[in-house]
Structures are given as structure tokens and as C-alpha cells.
């Protein structure tokens, strides 16, 4: 049986060999000063440098370190999902490995979970040391996420530094690139006590950022995806069936009106345009076809589970 600890710190990483010793020592000092029982979970996302060798050395010095290495690069969401499954702490933290998140923030975040009863506390890097090409898209992205998710009190959804009650991370699933929306996933899983805390953002000390501008495009698409799945994933017929039925009815009534009008004019001996020469007939026919296709899509969606059993099968190369 795994020992229950005060704190688990899940740290996904990719090519961060330079920052790991300093980060591990910094965390250990904070934990020791506050007398927390803890574990550090390094999730090596298929690093190509010497990150894993560095972790093995750190493990010898600090038995509270655990680590998992992926055979190849899967992405941050995969690392978090595996880390959450392995975590034993009553309070689970996530943070980046690049030293831009400060371990000195952990005690206050821990108190907010344990003493104030929050389910999730997200860091807010109110003052960022990033170029304007990153800060402006980030603000737009966060504004859109607040609007679509209904979580009005978060300013920085994608901050790597977060604290979770254990129940939260054991009842959510992170996949694809959904790590940006963990607060949204948690809310839709029933954990609504979500807040934020202003945290210090440090300039990157080693290496380079692993994310480019394309993440904002991907992030918006992921937001649409997760919104749809959360609202209609278990009842796709409610969306596609309703839209399909509406489209079919509009098309059918329009075609019926065209046919009745044609018969009416014929009964009066009035020359009327051929039904097949009437452009509105083809619009009506198209509406009925689209409506039928939408209805079929809803029906098929009901038959196909949105949760593939193989979605989080990752090839783990090593574990210590």
C-alpha cells in the first residue's frame, strides 16, 4: 500500500537537465522548513538530453524523488495524467521544470487547499517576464476561456503552478492538449471551489521555451472541443438530432409549400414554373439532406463512446 503524504509535486519535463538540480534542492528546502511529508514526481516526456541521468543522480541524494520516463515525447497533458495517477499526496501540486515557478509559493497554496477548503487553486502570474507577442495572445485566450467556461474568477488558466485536492486529480482525465483547461475539466467534474492566487513569475534561467505561437490556435480549438464534449459528449443526439430535425422540417415544409403552390396554380389554369426549375426547391432538398445527415451523426454519436479505452495508453520506458 502506498504511503499517504502531505504533498505530491508533479513536474512534467522535456529537455530540462540544467534546471533540475536547482529545482529539486529548492523544493526539498521548502518542504523541510515546513515539515511536510512529500514526494517529487518527475515525468520525463521523452527528453533527448541528459535529463533522465540527472534525475537518477538526484534520486540517490533524495529518496522522496520518484520519476517516470516516457519512451517518446507525448506532450504535457500525458505527463500530467500519468503523474496524477501515481501521486499519493493529499494535496497535489503541478509546476514547470524551467524554474519559472517558485517553490516558495507552495506553503501558501497548501494552506488554501487544507485550511480554506478550496478544490483547486490556480496560480496567476500577474506580472510576466514574457515578450508582448506572448502576453497579448495569452490575455485574449484567457478572456475567451472565461467567457466560454463560466469560470469568471481566473485570469491565468494555463499557469503551470496549481494546487489540487487529491479527489480532484483522481477524478479527472487529462489528454490531448487539455492541460490548459484543467480548471474547466475540474468544474465539469463537479469541483466548483476554484480560485486563484497571485504568484511570482521568474525569468527563464536555462534553455528555451517549448511552446510556440501555434499553441494559441491549438488552445482555441481545444477549448471548442472540450466545451462540446462536456455539454454534449454524453448526449450528442440532443445537439445533432435537434439541429437535424429542425433542418429537415424547414426543408420539408418549404418543399411542401412549393408543391402545393404548383398544384394551386394548375387548378386555376395559371402557368407556373416547373418545380425542378425553382431554385428554392433545391434549397429545400439540400436542407432535408443536411438534416438527415445531422440526425444520423447524432445517432452514431450515441453508439460511439467518447472515452476510448486506449486514449491514455503510453509506452513507459523506465520507472524508479
Most confident range, picked from 115-119, 146-150, 262-266 = 115-119
In the chain, the percentage of residues whose pLDDT exceeds 70 is 81
Least confident range from 69-73, 116-120, 278-282: namely 278-282
Q: pLDDT for 154-203, tens place per residue?
A: 888 888 899 999 999 999 888 777 888 899 889 888 898 999 999 987 77
Query: If you average pLDDT over residues 259-274, what whole number do you get?
Result: 84
- Residue 84 makes CB contacts below 8 A (sequence gap 6+) with 10, 92, 169, 170, 172, 174
d(CA 38, CA 183): 24
DSSP three-state, residue 224: helix
pLDDT classification of 79: cutoffs 50, 70, 90: very high
Q: pLDDT for 11-65, tens place per residue?
A: 999 999 999 999 999 999 999 999 999 999 999 999 999 999 999 999 999 999 9
pLDDT classification of 123: cutoffs 50, 70, 90: very high
Is CATH 3.30.465.10 the classification given to domain 5-232? no
Predicted pLDDT of residue 209? 62
Least confident range from 71-80, 130-139, 260-269: namely 130-139
Predicted pLDDT of residue 1? 44
Predicted pLDDT of residue 305? 54
- Where do the domains of the chain lie? 5-232, 236-303
Query: If you average pLDDT over residues 70-77, what whole number do you get?
Result: 92
185: part of which helix (H) or strand (E)?
helix 182-188
Q: pLDDT for 100-114, tens place per residue?
A: 899 999 999 999 999
**Which CA distances in Å does 47 have to 13, 57, 192, 259, 315?**
8, 16, 35, 67, 14
pLDDT classification of 233: cutoffs 50, 70, 90: low
pTM above 0.85, yes or no: no
Pairing of strands 162-165, 89-94: antiparallel
d(CA 296, CA 243): 11
Predicted pLDDT of residue 218? 66
Query: If you average pLDDT over residues 287-299, what whole number do you get?
Result: 90
Amino acid at each position: 500500500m502506498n504511503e499517504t503524504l502531505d504533498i505530491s509535486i508533479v513536474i512534467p519535463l522535456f529537455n530540462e537537465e540544467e534546471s533540475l538540480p536547482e529545482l529539486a534542492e529548492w523544493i526539498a528546502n521548502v518542504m523541510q522548513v515546513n515539515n511536510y511529508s512529500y514526494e517529487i514526481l518527475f515525468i520525463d516526456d521523452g527528453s533527448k538530453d541528459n535529463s533522465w541521468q540527472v534525475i537518477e543522480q538526484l534520486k540517490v541524494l533524495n529518496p522522496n524523488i520518484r520519476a517516470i520516463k516516457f519512451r517518446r515525447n507525448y506532450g504535457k497533458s500525458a505527463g500530467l495524467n500519468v503523474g496524477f495517477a501515481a501521486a499519493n499526496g493529499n494535496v497535489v501540486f503541478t509546476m514547470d521544470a524551467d524554474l519559472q515557478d517558485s517553490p516558495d509559493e507552495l506553503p501558501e497554496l497548501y494552506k488554501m487547499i487544507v485550511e480554506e477548503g478550496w478544490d483547486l487553486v490556480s496560480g496567476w502570474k500577474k506580472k510576466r517576464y514574457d515578450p508582448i507577442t506572448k502576453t497579448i495572445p495569452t490575455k485574449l485566450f484567457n478572456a475567451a476561456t472565461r467567457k466560454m467556461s463560466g469560470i469568471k474568477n481566473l485570469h491565468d488558466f494555463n499557469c503551470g503552478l496549481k494546487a489540487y485536492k487529491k479527489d480532484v486529480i483522481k477524478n479527472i482525465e487529462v489528454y490531448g492538449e487539455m492541460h490548459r483547461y484543467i480548471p474547466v475539466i475540474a468544474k465539469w467534474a463537479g469541483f466548483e471551489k476554484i480560485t486563484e492566487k497571485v504568484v511570482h513569475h521568474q525569468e527563464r534561467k536555462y534553455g528555451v521555451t517549448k511552446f510556440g505561437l501555434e499553441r494559441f490556435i491549438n488552445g482555441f480549438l481545444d477549448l471548442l472541443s472540450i466545451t462540446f464534449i462536456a455539454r454534449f459528449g454524453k448526449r450528442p443526439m440532443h445537439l445533432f438530432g435537434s439541429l437535424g430535425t429542425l433542418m429537415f422540417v424547414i426543408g420539408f415544409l418549404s418543399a411542401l409549400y412549393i408543391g402545393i403552390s404548383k398544384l394551386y396554380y394548375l387548378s386555376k389554369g395559371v402557368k407556373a414554373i416547373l418545380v425542378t426549375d425553382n431554385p428554392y426547391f433545391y434549397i429545400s432538398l439540400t436542407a432535408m439532406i443536411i438534416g438527415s445527415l445531422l440526425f444520423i451523426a447524432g445517432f452514431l454519436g450515441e453508439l460511439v463512446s467518447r472515452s476510448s479505452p486506449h486514449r491514455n495508453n503510453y509506452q513507459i520506458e523506465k520507472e524508479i
